[in-house]
């Protein structure tokens, strides 16, 4: 039966993360010097504390040393973390999701034995999927009802030489690149696209950080180059060549939308607190119809967005609910993607307007929240591509796994 009744464990996790955000993340994230988008370094000390709480390994199964959290729990945690700082939320969501995909699903026992201990022992050991390449932009939109020719090919190549792979090429826009201890690198081999596991300390691998002022994503991003980078043959992911890790691994659940929701929620709560304190015309401004109505509309947007996110996450955890028709057979994650980013941006902007002119002052956090929501609105493929993917689903067209994600 379709239900969003949270378990006692989920409520405990949410409350624990919420307390951590209030005590550790918010005070560090809202220092005046960090409110400017161009000078917003990653809070590494806070990230360490979050990792020590188990948030880096949240989705990793208990058998592998993680918490084994389901998709809904991961979305709840991401929202709470983004309430404090979306960069922290983005880094942990990326690593947690990839840890589950790599260690629980894709790696062989020998690969797990080699890489898993190092991952579990080091709180700063993050994971990265190196997929996107310069001059190849998957965000140009889907070619409606037609696969993109050549999209599965990569300019980054790997050639087998005895018992090693030799990698040459470059990847840009790599999430977690500045922090990653292990890269899952999408390459072209003689038999199609494949994925190779490349540790950070591998000779021939170089990482260049992308400054906050130059990127349009939350988290830590960088460019990775490979020059005669040699990795053992057993670092090939999968049984054989031509079986790459799905590039949409991180988009099977709506964690990006949950991150966005956290941004909208913190803006709303700030506006609500201010409206209950600020007095104008002898009354609190929340008692004025214009402000009260605006806050009510913001709350409606947040609650409907959360319902879409939670439904998509719950469906990912319970695929049988679609089979027995408890939920419609629709791309629910893509529906959330098409709806949430624009909705949260408008909600955040309206929340800022409750502050009047103070909402745009650089030493006030509201301008930061609006900027953060704007990043979510324009990062990734955007609403137009999500809408076309929904239209394809309605007609029964199934896009190849490497070319699109639900």
Cα–Cα nearest to 16, from 43, 52, 65, 64: 52
Q: Confidence band (pLDDT; 50, 70, 90) for 130? A: very high
**pLDDT of the residue at 259:** 97
Q: Go through 351-378 and write b for each residue having 16 or more CB atoms within 10 A of its CB, e for each that does not.
A: bbbbbeeebeeeebbbbbbbebbbbbbe
| Measured distance CA(84)–CA(235) in Å, rounded | 37
Token pair belonging to 346? 């408008």
**pLDDT of the residue at 248:** 52
Q: Go through 323-339 and write b for each residue having 16 or more CB atoms within 10 A of its CB, e for each that does not.
A: eeeebeeebbbbbbbbb
Residues 365-383 pLDDT 10s = 999 999 999 999 887 666 8
Whether residue 62 has pLDDT greater than 80 = yes
**pLDDT of the residue at 404:** 36
Phi, psi of 161 (to 5 degrees): -135, 95
Q: Which of 39-53, 179-193, 211-225, 334-348 has the lowest mean pLDDT?
A: 211-225
SS3 at position 391: helix
Whether residue 397 has pLDDT greater than 90 = no
Q: Confidence band (pLDDT; 50, 70, 90) for 54? A: very high
Q: Where are the domains of the chain?
A: 8-123, 129-235, 252-395
Residue 246 burial by CB count (10 A; 0-12/13-18/19+): exposed, middle or buried? Answer: middle
A 10 A CB-CB count for 403 gives 15
Range list of β-strands (E), 149-214: 157-161, 164-175, 180-189, 192-199, 205-209
CA dihedral 89, 406, 216, 154 (to 10 degrees): 110
Q: Confidence band (pLDDT; 50, 70, 90) for 211? A: low
As assigned by CATH, the class of the 8-123 domain is: mainly alpha
Q: Which of 14-28, 200-214, 231-245, 392-406 has the lowest mean pLDDT?
A: 392-406
Residue predicted with more confidence, 397 or 69 = 69
Mean pLDDT of 62-73: 96
Rg of the chain over all Cα atoms, to the nearest angstrom: 22
Instruction: Report the relative pairing of strands 157-161 and 164-175 from DSSP bridges.
Output: antiparallel
Token pair belonging to 226? 């490979």
Q: Which CATH architecture has domain 129-235?
A: Beta Barrel (2.40)
pTM, two decimals, is 0.92
Mean pLDDT of 275-301: 96
Token pair belonging to 384? 């137009």
| Measured distance CA(139)–CA(353) in Å, rounded | 31
Looking at the chain, the whole-number percentage of residues with pLDDT higher than 90 is: 70
Q: Confidence band (pLDDT; 50, 70, 90) for 35? A: confident
Mean pLDDT of 85-94: 96
Q: Which residues pair with 363 in a beta bridge?
A: none
State the fold for domain 252-395.
Answer: Butyryl-CoA Dehydrogenase, subunit A; domain 3 (1.20.140)
Q: Which of 35-44, 51-60, 120-129, 231-240 has the lowest mean pLDDT?
A: 35-44
Residue pair 103/63 in contact (Cβ under 8 Å)? The answer is no
């Amino acid at each position: 039966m379709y239900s969003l009744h949270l378990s006692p464990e989920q409520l405990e996790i949410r409350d624990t993360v919420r307390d951590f955000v209030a005590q550790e993340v918010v005070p560090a994230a809202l220092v005046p010097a960090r409110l400017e988008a161009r000078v917003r370094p990653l809070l590494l000390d806070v990230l360490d504390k979050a990792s020590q709480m188990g948030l880096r390994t949240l989705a990793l199964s208990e058998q592998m040393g993680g918490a084994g959290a389901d998709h809904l729990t991961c979305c709840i945690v991401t929202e709470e973390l983004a309430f404090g700082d979306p960069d922290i939320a983005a880094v942990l969501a990326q690593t947690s999701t990839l840890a589950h995909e790599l260690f629980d699903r894709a790696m062989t026992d020998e690969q797990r034995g080699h890489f898993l201990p190092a991952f579990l022992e080091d709180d700063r050991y993050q994971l990265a999927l190196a997929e996107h390449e310069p001059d190849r932009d998957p965000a140009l939109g889907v070619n409606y009802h037609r696969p993109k020719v050549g999209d599965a090919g990569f300019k980054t190549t790997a050639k087998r030489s005895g018992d090693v792979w030799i990698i040459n090429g470059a990847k840009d826009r790599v999430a977690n690149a500045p922090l990653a201890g292990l890269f899952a690198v999408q390459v072209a081999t003689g038999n199609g696209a494949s994925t190779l596991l490349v540790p950070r300390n591998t000779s021939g691998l170089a990482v260049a950080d992308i400054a906050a002022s130059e990127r349009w994503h939350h988290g830590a991003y960088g460019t990775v180059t490979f020059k005669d980078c040699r990795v053992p043959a057993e670092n090939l992911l999968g049984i054989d060549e031509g079986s790459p890790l799905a590039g949409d691994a991180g988009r099977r659940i709506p964690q990006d939308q949950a991150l966005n929701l956290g941004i909208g929620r913190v803006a709303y709560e700030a506006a609500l607190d201010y409206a209950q304190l600020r007095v104008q015309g002898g009354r609190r401004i929340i008692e004025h119809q214009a402000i009260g109505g605006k806050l009510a509309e913001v709350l409606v947007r947040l609650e409907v967005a959360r319902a879409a996110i939670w439904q998509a996450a719950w469906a990912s955890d319970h695929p049988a609910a679609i089979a027995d028709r408890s939920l419609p057979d629709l791309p629910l994650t893509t529906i959330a993607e098409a709806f949430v980013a624009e909705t949260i941006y408008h909600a955040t902007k309206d929340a800022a307007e409750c502050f009047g002119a103070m909402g745009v002052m650089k030493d006030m956090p509201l301008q930061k929240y609006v900027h953060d929501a704007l990043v979510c609105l324009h990062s990734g493929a955007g609403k137009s591509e999500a809408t076309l993917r929904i239209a394809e689903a309605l007609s029964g067209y199934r896009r190849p796994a490497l070319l699109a994600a639900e």
